[in-house]
Amino acid sequence: MGKIIVIYHSQQFGNTKVLAEALAEGVREAGAEVELINTNERRVTLDEFLAADAVALGTPDYFSYLAGTIKTFFDDIYQWDQSGEPVKGKPAALFLSHGGGGRVKQPFEYLARRFFEQVGDTVEGERPINEDAKKKCLALGKELTKKVK
């Protein structure tokens, strides 16, 4: 069946959460188990990460960079890797929200390439999130699920 974790940061406007939920729905429709983790509420544990067959990562654009909690997740992966944990190579889907800038895409993809095999194109949703962005995330969730089946 496969398990995918959707790791994202969302708070004030909830736009990244809307995209995360659409992606998770695509995973469910494609037949995999999915867990959503909002890094604004808690940190991802090593055990949770290792138990997943693939990940989806989402961030808002904060000053043309990732949300701090998503950067902390990348820092955690780096530390796990340095301690010998098998954290590299999982399939990953990326999505982001922004209020008109969207410049976070470049550093986000750069960090993701260090640890993951990106599936599909990064989905961008401009605030307020429209149906097209949700449909793209739904399709991306299905595409990611195909990688773990």
- Which DSSP string do the residues of 31-62 spell out, in sequence order? T-EEEEEETTT-PPPHHHHHH-SEEEEEEE-B
Q: Which amino acid is at 65?
A: Y
Residue 52: per-residue pLDDT: 98
Which two three-digit tokens encode residue 19?
Answer: 């995209």
Domain boundaries, position 118? 3-148
Q: What is the distance between the alpha carbons of residues 15 and 84, in angstroms, rounded to a whole number?
A: 35
The stretches in the chain having pLDDT less than 70 are none
Q: What CATH number corresponds to the domain at position 76?
A: 3.40.50.360
Residue 1: per-residue pLDDT: 74
Which two three-digit tokens encode residue 54?
Answer: 């693939």
Give the tens place of pLDDT for each residue, 38-58: 999 999 999 999 999 999 999
> How many domains in the chain?
1
Residue 92 dihedral angles phi and psi, to the nearest 5°: -145, 145
